[in-house]
Amino acid sequence: MQTLIKTDFRFPNQKSFYKGKVRDIYNIDDKLMLMIVTDRISAFDVVLPRGIPYKGQVLNQIAARSLDATADIVPNWKIDTPDPMVTAGIICRPFMVEMVIRGYLAGHAWREYKKGSRKLCGKTMPEGMKENEKFPEPLITPTTKAVTGHDEDIEKEEIIKRGMVSEKDYLKLEEFTKKLFERGHKLAQERGLILVDTKYEFGKADDKIYLIDEIHTPDSSRYFYADGYEYRLQNNQPQKQLSKEFVREWLTDKGFKGHEGQKIPEMNDNFVTQASERYIELYENITGEKFKKTNTENIEKRIEENCMSFLRLL
């Protein structure tokens, strides 16, 4: 199985190219963005050396469906999906914050809680909670959107003070974040899942706020299986979850946490295959549909032809 770990296209009227951890972004005439979701995988803000088959297709197709399912809440950047691994959309100026929202005490929030902290981004976490327990109300805990290095927790007041987002716009981002999470949680329930936490990114075009990037994917969200959740919680057992956490756990077990000087463990064929199967499982559970594998021969050629056909129609 071939994987797509890098691209180097030259599209008509292409103005610029940006390579993110997972996505390659092409600016077409400062009007349109082609976002190619590669098979690269990152953890602890480090891109791992091997691609995961079908990962890009899984992420792109979940995000496209989720954007369509929430378009009545807030406009989003998506125009079309010319290829299973590509989304074309409006170019927006991104806000340099990520709106993280947490419905349950898990992941980073739990790690801080276990250290004794009861505040996260200025929000109070109640005393006496267990790991993975539901918060009385979802907490919005923003992070900076780092160009390089690690994102950092930040409080609402600091965001506004630094001029990262105006107070008026920030209040809208909070409103959209709560409504999007509520919708995502409802859609997850219909699939027998719990949307535990997630992040949303927003930008502006023509002074209008848009939802951008991906939403409700296993790379940006954490899901638990609803079946057995209460039993596991009451018996202090780990939750069965759908997220990228299995990759972080695999790396941690091998002594890697993304710290300077640490060597990335070898990703053998067995792990890569298991990771691919896990992403496909994520897709089928989140969407409720069977995953249809696209032909992985000459992925780059297929993407280029599909994008060119799309651009010719504009």
Structure tokens at 252: 């941690």
CA atoms of 314 and 307, how far apart (whole Å): 11
Q: What is the DSSP letter of 289?
A: S
Torsion of CA 92, 93, 94, 96, to 10 degrees: 180
- Report the pLDDT value the prediction gives residue 147, as an integer from 0 to 100: 64
216: region left, alpha or beta (phi > 0 left; psi from -120 to 50 alpha):
left
Backbone angles phi, psi at 308, to 5 degrees: -65, -40
Long-range contacts: 36-41, Cβ < 8 Å, 24+?
36/4, 36/7, 36/85, 36/86, 36/303, 37/63, 37/85, 37/86, 37/87, 37/214, 38/4, 38/5, 38/6, 38/7, 38/85, 39/3, 39/4, 39/5, 40/5, 41/244, 41/247, 41/275
Q: 247: how many CB neighbours lie within 10 A of its CB?
A: 22
252: region left, alpha or beta (phi > 0 left; psi from -120 to 50 alpha):
alpha
pLDDT (tens, 9 = 90+) of the chain, 314 residues, equals 799 999 999 999 999 999 999 999 999 999 999 999 999 999 988 999 999 999 999 999 999 999 999 999 999 999 999 999 999 999 999 999 999 999 999 999 999 999 999 999 999 999 999 999 999 999 999 999 876 666 899 999 999 999 999 999 999 999 999 999 999 999 999 999 999 999 999 999 999 999 999 999 988 999 999 999 999 999 999 999 888 888 988 999 999 998 989 999 999 999 999 999 999 998 999 999 999 999 999 999 999 999 999 999 98
Find how far residue 279's CA is from the centre of its chain: 13
- Report the pLDDT value the prediction gives residue 168, as an integer from 0 to 100: 97
CA atoms of 314 and 249, how far apart (whole Å): 45
- Report the pLDDT value the prediction gives residue 149, as an integer from 0 to 100: 60
Instruction: Specify the pairing of strand 32-37 against strand 42-43.
Output: unpaired
Domains and CATH numbers, the chain: 95-242 (3.30.470.20)
Asked if 141 and 198 count as a contact pair (C-beta separation under 8 A), the reply is: no
- Report the pLDDT value the prediction gives residue 198, as an integer from 0 to 100: 97
CA atoms of 312 and 291, how far apart (whole Å): 29
pTM as predicted? 0.92
- Report the pLDDT value the prediction gives residue 150, as an integer from 0 to 100: 67
Torsion of CA 293, 287, 278, 39, to 10 degrees: 50
